[in-house]
Chain A
Amino acid sequence: MTSARRYLAKVFVSLKPTVNDPEGETIAGALRSLGFQGVARVRSGKFFQIELEAADETSASEAVERMCQRLLANPVIETFAFEVGEVAPAS
C-alpha cells in the first residue's frame, strides 16, 4: 500500500537574530506599557499551517523544508522551523 497520508505542517518563520526587528521592539514596548514589566524581548514572525499529502512523514518533512527554502522564508533575513504531524488518512 502506497496510499498518500495527510499531514499538517506548522511552520514558523522569523527574522534572524542578527536582523533588527522594529515590529518586535514596538510590541515589546506596548506590552511593557500595559504593565507587563517582565517582558525582556519580543521577536515577531509568521506562522503557517500547511496541509499536505505525502507517502510518509519523512517525505512530508522534506517537502516542507523545500517550501521554506524556496518561498516561505527569505534566507537573507529569516530563519524557519517547523513540525509535521499526521492528521487523518486522505479519503
Chain B
Amino acid sequence: MRFAIIRFPGTWSDRDCQHALRDVLGQEAEIVWHRETSLDGFDAVVLPGGFSYGDYLRAGAIARFSPIMEAVTRFAAAGKPVIGICNGFQILCESGLLPGALIRNDSLQFRCEWVWLRREGRPTPWTAAIPEGAVLRMPISHGEGNYQADEATLDLLEREGRVVFRYCDAEGNVTPAANPNGSAHNIAGIVNEQGNVLGMMPHPERAAEPLLGGDDGNLLWHSILSAALDTVA
C-alpha cells in the first residue's frame, strides 16, 4: 500500500509515521509537502501530529487552508482512507471532514503519557483488525485534545457507532479518571459518516515497536492493510 504523509510547516510526527509504515510494516510511505495539490497514486493519507503553523489562532485552523487539503477533501469524498492523528485530527475537525472541535485540555496541562483506549463502535476499515471491546495502549501528547461537540452531534456519533476509540482504564472501564483531557463521552477517536476518515488524539505511530513501549498502534495499520486487501479481492 502507498501512504501519503502530509507535512505542514510545524508538523513533527511525519517521520515517526514514515518509520512505522515503511521500516516496521514494509509499506510505501512518502512525505508530501502541504503546497502540493495532488494525491494521485496514493492509497491512503496520513495527517500526522505536530504544531502546524505553530498552533496559531487555533490548532489546525490555518493548515486546513493549505493547498493539499483540497486534494485530501476529494480523496476522502472518494471513500479512500484518511487518518488524522493529534494535530491531524484537529485539522480534520477544522476542515469540516469530521464534526466537533478540540479545545484546551480541561487540566490546562499538556498531557504526554500512555493511555488506554477501548475499541468501540461500528466496523470501519481503520479498526477492522481490532476486536470490539479490545483495550489498546498508546501515547498521547497534546494540549488541546478535549473533544467537544453539541449534544445533537454527540448523540448522532453515538447512535451511528462512530466513536471508535474511548479513553478507559487498563480493564476497559470508561471512567472520568481515565479521561486525560476532558473530552465529551471520553472520546479519543471518531470516524466520518462513511467510516473512511478517522481522527484520533493518541499516536499509533509512537506505539509501533516494543522498544517504544508497545506496538498496539500497528493494529490500525494492519486494519487498513487488510481492508485494502478485501477491496481488491
Contacts of B99 in A (CB 8 A): 76
Contacts of B105 in A (CB 8 A): 22
Interchain CB contact under 8 A, A20 and B148:
yes
Contacts of B65 in A (CB 8 A): 71
Q: What class of interface size applies to chain A in its complex with B?
A: 10 to 19
Give how many B residues have a beta carbon under 8 Å from the other chain's beta carbons. Answer: 21
* Contact A74/B94 with A15-B103, A19-B103, A22-B105 known, Cβ cut-off 8 Å: yes
**CA A22 to CA B107, docked complex, whole Å:** 7
Interchain CB contact under 8 A, B101 and A77:
yes
Cβ of B80 within 8 Å of any chain A Cβ, yes or no, is no
Tell me the chain B residues, 92-117 only, with Cβ under 8 Å from chain A. Answer: 93-94, 99-101, 103-108
Q: Is the interface of B mostly helix, strand, loop or mixed?
A: loop
Contacts of A15 in B (CB 8 A): 103
Cβ of A26 within 8 Å of any chain B Cβ, yes or no, is yes
**CA A26 to CA B107, docked complex, whole Å:** 9
Interchain CB contact under 8 A, B148 and A19:
yes
* Contact A77/B108 with A20-B182, A71-B57 known, Cβ cut-off 8 Å: no
Interchain CB contact under 8 A, B61 and A76:
no
Tell me the chain A residues, 67-83 only, with Cβ under 8 Å from chain B. Answer: 71-72, 74, 76-77
Interface string of A19-48 (1 = CB under 8 A from B): 110110010000000000000000000100
Tell me the chain B residues, 43-59 only, with Cβ under 8 Å from chain A. Answer: 57-58
**Chain A min CB distance to B84 (Å):** 16
Which B residues are closer than 8 A to A by beta carbons? 57-58, 61-62, 65, 93-94, 99-101, 103-108, 146, 148-150, 182
Question: What are 20 A-B residue pairs whose CB atoms fall within 8 Å in the complex?
Answer: A15-B103, A20-B103, A20-B106, A20-B148, A20-B182, A22-B104, A22-B105, A22-B107, A22-B108, A22-B182, A23-B104, A23-B108, A46-B57, A71-B61, A71-B62, A74-B58, A74-B61, A74-B101, A76-B101, A77-B103
The 4 closest A-B pairs by CB, nearest first: A76-B101, A77-B101, A22-B106, A22-B108
